[in-house]
Amino acid sequence: MTAIRLKWWEITALVPFALLSALFFAGGQVVAGVVLAALLGVAVASRAEIRERNRPGGYARTRAILLLAEWAALLAIYVTAVWLFFVIHSEHWTRDRHGTVAFYALVGLSFFLAREIYRIGENAGNWLLGSDKEREVARVLDTLRDEGWSVIHDVRKERGGNVDHFLSGPTGSFAIETKSGANRATVRNQAISNAVWAKEKFGQRWVTAILCVGTDPPPQPVQHGHVWVLGTADLVEFVRRPRR
């Protein structure tokens, strides 16, 4: 299974803030406790390291969960800020200069939070779609095991990142990058980079780079330089095809 971890010094640094948050709640200072707990959530979600476990879509799904945790934490702070607007209005804080400064500072913070909440939520949704696409492709590729193919999913790269799928069989070796979105040059370059890495990692004579897209796949496999772009429906037939 895919796991997450924090470095020991990160855990050590966060523990005092977690205790302080608990003290705030115990002392009835709920707003301070909520904000500090939410900030801890943001820190953990943004600093957590994902460890791949060769589970299809595992990295993408775990990344989505971490982003959703960060989204929820920021939403909690945003709700607290909205509540403070009602406090400012009901207690007439803007009648003096300090209250007015606090009001506009809160407006700026709320605008920033709203933008971040939207951005992170959209990003989390994209990672979830990517995870679903990886698992769909994995189900298709796993059918090749009965034909003697070696199939590995979610292969971690030493310097960061991962190869979504690597397979080796009678017709050659392939590194497959899956995307729920459309065919883009940056993603094609990523697929080529993964194939080069897999060639060295697994000691292969040649590894074919494949980009499997979910949005607007070509009607048949199309070669762009050193990478083939195709849809899920063409994947098995393509890798079975004898290479020249």
Q: What are the pLDDT digits (tens) for 24-53? A: 999 999 999 999 999 999 999 999 988 767
In a domain, 231, yes or no: yes
* CA distances to 132, 162, 189, 207 from 166, in Å: 18, 10, 17, 9
CATH code of 182's domain: 3.40.1350
110 and 59 in one domain? Answer: yes
Which pLDDT belongs to residue 1?
A: 46
Number of independent structural domains in the chain:
2
Q: 235 near 192, Cβ under 8 Å?
A: no
In a domain, 140, yes or no: no
Which pLDDT belongs to residue 53?
A: 75
162 and 195 in one domain? Answer: yes
127 and 159 in one domain? Answer: no
121 and 30 in one domain? Answer: yes
* Mean pLDDT value across the chain: 92
Which pLDDT belongs to residue 147?
A: 94
106 and 32 in one domain? Answer: yes
Identify the sign of the CA torsion 194, 198, 200, 201.
positive
In a domain, 143, yes or no: no
In a domain, 104, yes or no: yes
Which pLDDT belongs to residue 244?
A: 65
Domain boundary among 134, 159, 187: 134
Give how far the C-alpha of residue 12 lies from the chain's centroid of Cα atoms, to the nearest Å: 25
Domain boundary among 109, 134, 159: 134
118 and 95 in one domain? Answer: yes
Region 195-213 average pLDDT: 95
Region 184-212 average pLDDT: 95
217 and 130 in one domain? Answer: no
Domain boundary among 68, 101, 134: 134
pLDDT at 58 over 90: no
pLDDT at 2 over 70: no
pLDDT band at residue 115 under the 50/70/90 scheme: very high
In 3D space, the residue among 237, 36, 39, 222 whose CA is nearest the CA of residue 144 turns out to be 237
216 and 169 in one domain? Answer: yes
In a domain, 11, yes or no: yes
Q: Structural domain of residue 73, as residue ranges?
A: 3-134
In a domain, 201, yes or no: yes
pLDDT digits (tens, 9 = 90+) for 136-163: 999 999 999 999 999 999 998 888 788 9
In a domain, 178, yes or no: yes
CA dist 238 and 171 (Å) reads 10
167 and 58 in one domain? Answer: no
DSSP one-letter string for the chain? --EEE--HHHHHHHHHHHHHHHHHHHTT-HHHHHHHHHHHHHHHHHHPEEE--S-TTHHHHHHHHHHHHHHHHHHHHHHHHHHHHHHHHHTTGGGSHHHHHHHHHHHHHHHHHHHHHHHHHHHHHHHHHHHHHHHHHHHHHHGGGGGT-EEEEEEEPTTS-EEEEEEEETTEEEEEEEESS---HHHHHHHHHHHHHHHHHTT-S-EEEEEEESSS--SS-EEETTEEEE-GGGHHHHHHSPP-
Q: 164 near 176, Cβ under 8 Å?
A: yes
Q: 206 near 216, Cβ under 8 Å?
A: no
In a domain, 174, yes or no: yes
CA dist 152 and 169 (Å) reads 12
User: Percentage of residues in the chain with pLDDT exceeding 90?
Assistant: 76
10 and 121 in one domain? Answer: yes
**What six digits make up the tokens of 124?**
């989390």
116 and 42 in one domain? Answer: yes
187 and 96 in one domain? Answer: no
End-to-end Cα distance, the chain: 38
